[in-house]
């Protein structure tokens, strides 16, 4: 081997080179900053648009539509690019979001819902309550998550990144310059550019991948946008605003969210937010071009990397990417679906919140929560997947109600009342739901034991 091909001197103890090179954040705040959802009608044969809004709801004296539960829709003249009508959503004079109707996209049934920015700071995960309420009132369900912005606010991030960026290969070096710049010390792990007002915002990543991470000085942006409630949130969460707060913002769209199989429930808790954020911002940093390279287990030489964020500082572990197999889709197991349904059912029986009942209805009718359909595709000509799944849920609810009595659980009068009416509340008059099998008319809830005879597995943890 010639000297030209000799590898750079290396060390095998990787920990000696990486420990202490991450930016350790003593204090930080993680929160949602933007959420846009793609909704669709619960009834696949219907469409929710401007005409449906006018037909189903009456206008008040100021031209808004009262849709119930103190929610009111007011026309917004600033239209979304792909929609004809936009309405601000107010509840008790508080702006909670915007809904866009009459899609110009190929799927005319889709509806876009955007949650107002200040809701994430004033109510935390209260946005989820608004989402459930609006879906229940308007007869909509989740189709997919269109866009999510997750924010990590902390001091010191911008200066750390700034110093390495201006000593990296990102800075153009002019040949034969009067004052030539020194040789670059670093190279960014991901494509990094600088943009924004006065060139003060770093953009890491590629939009084509569905993820771009922005780094900028948040305290300067707050002065411009007048969003003082964000400063209040910083103070309430123990951040020292005297040093100036920086923001690392992961801007994620459906392409990236689908790759990691991220659902709405992952965004409804601090732990879930940290897991998603840790996945989005891991390995953002620089390669050290001057340090001795390290040797991995395959005897390959790699650059030492310094990362902006150490995912280990989060309490929750990052998500693992969902690997898709050919001709298959990412689906949850039936056990996971029924376990979640049972937990929501128990919470409704115990607390009795109206939103809990609406959430159960939505959960049953959401296509991604259908159960029993994969093993009975041969009966699709007789029963639709929706009817088949509803029949399964009817059987589950009957079993849950029976278990409350059999196990002699402590029940107050309110819980007993909810147990007596829960089946009717979720499914209506179940005796009236029938299907035709030859010359026989069979109740849907009894159809399985009558002629389908499925072997339905219900884990003991669900019961």
**Maximum alpha-carbon separation in the chain:** 95
Supply the pTM of this predicted model: 0.64
CA distance 360 to 57: 24
Q: Which of 145, 146, 147, 141 is nearest to 367 (CA)?
A: 141
Phi-psi region at 325: left, alpha or beta (left = phi > 0; alpha = psi -120 to 50): beta
Residues 6+ apart with CB under 8 A from 282: 307, 309, 311, 318
pLDDT of residue 114: 96
CA distance 349 to 353: 9
pLDDT of residue 450: 43
CA distance 413 to 427: 22
Own/partner pairs for 97-106, CB < 8 Å, 24+ apart?
A: 97/130, 97/134, 99/73, 99/134, 101/48, 101/49, 101/50, 101/53, 102/49, 102/50
CA distance 101 to 87: 8
What secondary structure, in 3-state letters, does 358-403 show?
Answer: HHHHHHHHCHHHCCCCCCCHHHCCCCCHHHHHHHHHHHHHHHHHHH
Give SS3 for 117.
helix
Phi-psi region at 315: left, alpha or beta (left = phi > 0; alpha = psi -120 to 50): alpha
Q: Which of 316, 311, 315 is nearest to 24 (CA)?
A: 311
Residues in the chain: 463
pLDDT of residue 374: 54
pLDDT of residue 257: 93
pLDDT of residue 176: 63
For 347, counting Cβ atoms within 10 Å of its Cβ (0-12 exposed, 13-18 middle, 19+ buried), the class is: middle
**Mean pLDDT of successive 10-residue segments in the chain (463 residues)?**
36 35 77 94 88 90 89 89 92 91 89 93 82 92 94 91 88 67 85 75 90 92 87 87 91 93 88 89 88 77 84 63 44 76 85 82 84 54 74 89 71 85 83 53 49 37 33
**Percent of the chain that is helix, strand, coil (3-state, to 5):** 40, 25, 35
Own/partner pairs for 379-386, CB < 8 Å, 24+ apart?
A: 379/452, 382/435, 382/437, 383/435, 383/444, 383/447
Q: With contact defined as beta carbons under 8 Å apart, do 137 and 48 qualify? A: no
Helix (H) or strand (E) holding 163: helix 157-165
**Tokens 């990144």 identify what position?**
161
CA distance 378 to 459: 25
CA distance 367 to 241: 46
pLDDT of residue 431: 54
Q: With contact defined as beta carbons under 8 Å apart, do 149 and 33 qualify? A: yes
Could you give the angle at the alpha carbon of 402 between the alpha carbons of 399 and 407, nearest 5°? 120
Angle between helix 385-406 and 413-427 (nearest 10): 170
CA distance 136 to 143: 15
End-to-end CA distance of the chain: 68
Residues 6+ apart with CB under 8 A from 114: 34, 35, 36, 37, 97, 98, 99, 100
pLDDT of residue 332: 63
CA distance 430 to 404: 20
CA distance 209 to 150: 17
pLDDT of residue 344: 84
């Amino acid at each position: 081997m010639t000297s030209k091909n000799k590898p750079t001197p290396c060390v095998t103890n990787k920990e000696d080179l990486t420990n202490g090179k991450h930016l350790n954040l003593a204090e930080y705040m993680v929160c949602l900053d933007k959420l846009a959802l793609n909704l669709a009608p619960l009834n696949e044969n219907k469409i929710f648009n401007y005409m449906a809004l006018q037909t189903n709801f009456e206008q008040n004296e100021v031209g808004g539509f009262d849709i119930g539960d103190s929610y009111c829709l007011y026309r917004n003249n600033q239209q979304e690019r792909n929609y004809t009508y936009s309405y601000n959503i107010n509840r008790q004079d508080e702006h909670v979001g915007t809904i866009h109707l009459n899609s110009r996209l190929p799927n005319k049934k889709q509806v876009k819902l955007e949650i107002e920015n200040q809701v994430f700071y004033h109510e935390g995960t209260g946005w989820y309550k608004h989402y459930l309420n609006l879906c229940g009132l308007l007869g909509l369900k989740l189709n997919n998550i269109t866009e999510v912005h997750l924010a990590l606010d902390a001091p010191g991030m911008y200066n750390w990144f700034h110093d390495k960026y201006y000593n990296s290969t990102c800075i153009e070096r002019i040949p034969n310059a009067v004052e030539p710049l020194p040789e670059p010390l670093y190279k960014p792990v991901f494509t990094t550019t600088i943009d924004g007002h006065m060139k003060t915002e770093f953009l890491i990543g590629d939009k084509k991948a569905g993820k771009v991470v922005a780094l900028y000085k948040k305290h300067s942006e707050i002065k411009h946008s007048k969003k003082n409630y964000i400063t209040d949130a910083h103070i309430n969460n123990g951040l020292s605003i005297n040093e100036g707060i920086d923001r690392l913002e992961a801007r994620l769209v459906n392409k990236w969210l689908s790759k990691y199989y991220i659902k709405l429930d992952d965004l409804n808790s601090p732990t879930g937010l940290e897991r998603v954020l840790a996945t989005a911002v891991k390995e953002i940093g620089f390669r050290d071009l001057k340090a001795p390279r390290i040797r991995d287990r395959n005897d390959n030489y790699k650059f030492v990397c310094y990362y902006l964020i150490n995912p280990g500082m989060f309490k929750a572990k990052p998500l693992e990417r969902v690997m898709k197999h050919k001709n298959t889709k990412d689906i949850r197991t039936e056990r996971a679906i029924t376990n979640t349904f049972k937990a929501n059912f128990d919470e409704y029986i115990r607390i009795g919140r109206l939103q809990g009942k609406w959430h159960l209805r939505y959960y049953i009718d959401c296509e991604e929560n259908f159960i029993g359909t994969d093993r009975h595709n041969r009966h699709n000509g007789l029963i639709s997947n929706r009817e088949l799944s509803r029949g399964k849920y009817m059987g589950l609810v009957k079993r849950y109600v029976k278990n409350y009595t059999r196990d002699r659980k402590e029940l107050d009068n309110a819980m007993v009342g909810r147990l007596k009416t829960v089946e009717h509340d979720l499914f209506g008059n179940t005796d009236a739901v029938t299907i035709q099998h030859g010359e026989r008319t069979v109740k849907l809830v009894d159809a399985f034991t009558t002629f389908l005879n499925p072997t339905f597995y219900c884990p003991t943890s669900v019961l």
